[in-house]
A and B are shown apart, each in its own frame.
Chain A
Amino acid sequence: MAQTAVSTEANQQVLSQHLLLSVAEQIKLPLLQIARQAELAALSANPANLDRIQTTADMALHLLDSYVLGVRLATDTDQLFETEPVSISSVLYDVGSKLQPLARAYDVKLDMHLDGKYGPVMAHREGLLSALVSLGYALIEALPAIERPQLRLQLAAHRCRYGVVAGLYCEAEELSTEALRSGRELYGRARQPLTNLSAGSGAGVFVADALLRAMQTELTVSRHHKLRGLGAVLQPNPQMQLV
């Protein structure tokens, strides 16, 4: 099992007050949704949509959990952060099952596309899962806000020259390297750093970025067939490569 020390840069990012502020701003949304849905049920004397309330609460809990995981990975200096061989398809299936309820609530069609079979990649499984779910939440919430006729999000993996890319893809042209670069620059300074992608703080994207940096990779913009997306470049397990 490989062990990887977390870089100081990753520490700084995950622990930054900017990220905490971004998460706090983002958490307001699901809380607001829950409060207003409960109030609507009382006002209209109709039963509350409990499924939707549960989904929004789960979204808030997941974002907080991912943030806490990132902080733990970055601060736990006694126990070095361990990477292990991880099956990408298994992680993507888990991500899909966690995202499906929110996708339904936002009328986004979520599907999966795996180009071929992959050997294990080196990752921190929980960290990778959390990063992709956080990213998925952010994109599901963003898609209806940019008024695309096709609200479709695809979980996908494919090989590239640097390794295997696992990520989330859609038809939004707004997903570009430039948008991510300017988002990273504005993050912490602007209320809405991903101006063309998210109406909020975009915390899900930045939490995913911080978690992936703690795994010594980072969020990258990539293309999958005709779709654009955000994902992580992961390295195949060297032992499996020898075999």
Chain B
Amino acid sequence: MAKILLIEPDRILAHTYFEALTHAGHAVQICATAQGAIFCADDICPDVVILELQLVGHSGIEFLYEFRSYPDWQNVPVIVATNVPAGEFSGSWKLLRNQLGVSQYLYKPLTNLKKLLSTVQDFVPSTLNQ
């Protein structure tokens, strides 16, 4: 079982992802805002983060800058699951991957739950899979 921090602004989608992830055996904490997510991360010390880039107020990118500034969280895998198509931030993909440590990008409209669950599974620390 992995501890997952799910940062998703839409309540219905968040609830649906929550159910799918808990059904797969993970412990999930939902946050809607970047600021709230930092507090949540402090509480639960997540093994994996699932992040929507379009948030109200501070964006997902701002969250990543803050999140990665803490030594404890520099190696936590972050899966970006977003409504922003890849073409719109192809120029900043290097920044996301190399500097902000984004492990995987998923375009939400074309990512079904199976794909989301398998991607999460790929990044769950091996010690938790045993």
- Chain A interface residues (CB < 8 Å from chain B): 25, 28-29, 31-33, 35-37, 39-40, 43-44, 52, 56, 105-107, 141-142, 144-147, 174, 191-192, 195-200
Contact = CB atoms under 8 A, between A and B. Distances in A.
29 contacts: A25-B83, A28-B83, A33-B13, A33-B16, A36-B13, A36-B113, A37-B16, A39-B112, A39-B114, A40-B23, A43-B23, A43-B113, A43-B114, A52-B12, A56-B12, A144-B32, A145-B10, A145-B11, A145-B55, A146-B56, A147-B31, A147-B32, A147-B33, A174-B57, A191-B88, A192-B54, A195-B56, A199-B55, A200-B83
A43 B52 contact: no
A146 B16 contact: no
Contacts of A43: 20, 23, 113-114
B23 A199 contact: no
B38 interface: no
Given A32-B108, A32-B109, A196 B54 contact: no
Contacts of A192: 54
A28 B12 CA distance: 13
A31 B9 CA distance: 16
Contacts of A28: 83, 109
Interface residues of B, number: 27
Contact of B84 (A33, A35, A191): A191
Contacts of A106: 11-12
A147 B57 CA distance: 11
Interface in B27-68: 31-33, 36, 52, 54-57
Contacts of B10: 29, 33, 141, 145, 199
B84 A195 contact: no
B8 to A, nearest CB: 9
Interface string B82-112: 0110001000000000000000000011001
B123 interface: no
B122 interface: no
Contact of A199 (B9, B12, B16, B19): B9
B56 A196 contact: yes
